[in-house]
Structure 1
Amino acid sequence: MIQLALFGDPVLHSQSPQIHLAFANQFNMDISYQKQQISDQHFEKAVAQFFQQGGKGLNITVPYKPRAYRLAAICSAAVAQCGAANTLWMENGQIYADNTDGAGFILDLKSHYPNLIDKDVLILGAGGAVRGILQPLLNENPKSIYLVNRTLENAQMLIKDIQSNTSIQAFNFDIPSTHSPQIIINALSDDSHIQKILEKLNLEYCEFFYDLKYGINAIHSLSLAQKMGIKQTSDGLGMLLGQAALSFEIWTGLKPDIELIHKNELFKF
């Protein structure tokens, strides 16, 4: 049996075990996937013990992604770019690290909105989730990206860590009303300020609103975007499934069919 797990704090809400078990069922594979809430002082020790006890692969969620990659001997380019890892595995006695968040995000985003070239993109938030998706988004060659965050300095710091020819600007929640994005990506955990932000923008040419959250956690922002005239919206369930599928493929060498999960009523979170 392949031993897999999710480490983070909190993790009780996570659907990762159900998703990975569904992936494994596609290949008649026997796996164990446990979610474990790990305290701050025990994270590094817990990772070491997991692999010492024969564990194959770990998913890492908040708040430990920036710490996870430091435990790896070998890191992917995605990890090097964003400074965080959501996937760890043991190979030839060494811990490897990757970050599948960005690739999973782009995979899902382009299934709804295929062409990002020369588009004006506005991102709400500048936390760890944005750090994971920003470089993959820039690789799609948008015209510009605006980072809108409560704390301006955090957005500015994030921009300093990114190398790109795309125009990237940072604003606090008092963004100029002249900005007219074509795509809005919501990465805020607290949606209480979204209405005021959207009301300041020129949404005449806004074609798509995407929330990284999924299920009931995204209902408020998506319905608000629709009420304000943005016709196409999506939550982040596809991103969740995409990054999970990429992790599963890393660990097993097998590529699961995400669409089978989308069609399964058990996964209408």
Structure 2
Amino acid sequence: MDKFLVYGNPIAQSKSPIIHQMFAQQTKQAIHYDKCLSTSAEFEESVNKFILAGGKGANVTAPFKEQAMQMCDQLTERAKAAGAVNTLIFSERTIKGDNTDGVGLVNDLKNHQVQLTNKTILLMGAGGAARGVILPLLAENPKQIVIVNRTTEKAEQLAARFTDQKITAISYAETAKATFDVVINATSASLSANLPDLSSTCITTNTVCYDMVYGAKLSPFLNWCKKHKARLVIDGLGMLVGQAAESFYIWRNVRPQQTQVLAKLRSQLQGADK
């Protein structure tokens, strides 16, 4: 039975083992998927031990995505663009790194019938979460991707990493001067129940708002968007399932169905809140 792991710190809350076991049952794949708590000092040795023990691949979550990238012998284009890795593929002598976060996001938006082609997208945040989704968003041929960050300089630096002229950077104050078709929150603000300094005037009744954070209830950001009459608000649970589905496909060459898995996770989340 092929073995897989997810590394993180913290990791107890990870839903990846549940997701991948459901994918395995659905596609009749014989795999074992577990989670591993590690530290930065132990991470590399832990991965190497897992490879020696016959591990076939691993997912990587915070705070190890950049460290995992440093271990790789080969990187996909989307991993290079993200500057981080969330999926490791182990072969006899090499470690290959990929990043499936952006694919997870784009596919979730598409599953909600959100058009990205020729649309203006506001991407909030300039850290790893934002970096990881830019290349897959660009592949959808949007009209523009505008990056906004608390520190405008970081947004400008991220925009400069890409040669595409569709990518620009602005300050939060400047969001009052524009409107957007899609607004994506890739900041950690929702984890601490904070709101970014976004101007409410940039959201219209045609705007779709997406938060990478998910929970039993809508995040403060999505509640704020609803209050300002956004057309649709979406949390990040579908992105979580989507990035896992892409990792599963990379490892097993079988594309799992996500609908039932997503529904089960949603039900568990809402049940835990009662």
Q: Which residue of 1 aligns with 2:195?
A: 194
Q: Which residue of 2 aligns with 1:241?
A: 241
SS in 1 for 2:163: coil
SS in 1 for 2:5: strand
Contact 2:69 2:85 in 1 (8 A): yes
**Shift of residue 202, structure 1, vs aligned partner:** 3.3
Q: Which residue of 1 aligns with 2:208?
A: 208
Q: Which residue of 1 aligns with 2:68?
A: 68
Deviates more, 1:109-118 or 1:226-235: 109-118
Letter in structure 2 aligned against 1:23: F
The 3 A distance-change label for structure 1 pair 158 and 138 is same
**Shift of residue 37, structure 1, vs aligned partner:** 1.6
SS in 1 for 2:115: coil
**Shift of residue 15, structure 1, vs aligned partner:** 0.6
Letter in structure 2 aligned against 1:61: T
Deviations 1:136-166 (A, max 9, x none): 1122222222222112222122112112131
Q: Which residue of 2 aligns with 1:180?
A: 179
Deviates more, 1:14-23 or 1:28-37: 28-37
TM-score normalised by the chain length of structure 2:
0.90
Report the Cα distance in structure 1 between the residues aligned to 2:145 and 2:69, rounded to whole angstroms: 27
The 3 A distance-change label for structure 1 pair 266 and 110 is closer
Deviations 1:64-119 (A, max 9, x none): 11121221212111112222111002123211111111111111112224421222
Report the Cα distance in structure 1 between the residues aligned to 2:236 and 2:145, rounded to whole angstroms: 19
Report the Cα distance in structure 2 between the residues aligned to 1:257 and 1:225, rounded to whole angstroms: 30
Contact 1:175 1:197 in 2 (8 A): no
1:2-41 superposed matches below 5 A: 2-41=2-41
Contact 1:195 1:224 in 2 (8 A): no
Letter in structure 1 aligned against 2:102: G
Gaps of 5+ in 2: 270-274
Between Structure 1 and Structure 2, how many residues are aligned? 267
**Shift of residue 268, structure 1, vs aligned partner:** 4.3
Report the Cα distance in structure 2 between the residues aligned to 1:35 and 1:5, rounded to whole angstroms: 5
1:1-269 superposed matches below 5 A: 1-171=1-171, 173-191=172-190, 193-194=194-195, 196-199=197-200, 201-204=201-204, 206-216=206-216, 218-264=218-264, 268-269=268-269
**Shift of residue 38, structure 1, vs aligned partner:** 0.9
**Shift of residue 209, structure 1, vs aligned partner:** 0.5
What is the aligned-residue RMSD (CA, Å)? 2.0
Runs of 4+ residues deviating >4 angstroms = 265-268
Report the Cα distance in structure 2 between the residues aligned to 1:92 and 1:118, rounded to whole angstroms: 43
Report the Cα distance in structure 1 between the residues aligned to 2:262 and 2:124, rounded to whole angstroms: 26
SS in 2 for 1:164: coil
Report the Cα distance in structure 1 between the residues aligned to 2:110 and 2:266, rounded to whole angstroms: 24
**Shift of residue 133, structure 1, vs aligned partner:** 0.1
Letter in structure 1 aligned against 2:255: K
Report the Cα distance in structure 1 between the residues aligned to 2:69 and 2:265, rounded to whole angstroms: 35
**Shift of residue 217, structure 1, vs aligned partner:** 6.9
**Shift of residue 266, structure 1, vs aligned partner:** 6.5
The 3 A distance-change label for structure 1 pair 151 and 264 is same
The 3 A distance-change label for structure 1 pair 127 and 30 is same
**Shift of residue 28, structure 1, vs aligned partner:** 3.2
Letter in structure 1 aligned against 2:213: K
Letter in structure 2 aligned against 1:202: C
Letter in structure 1 aligned against 2:182: I
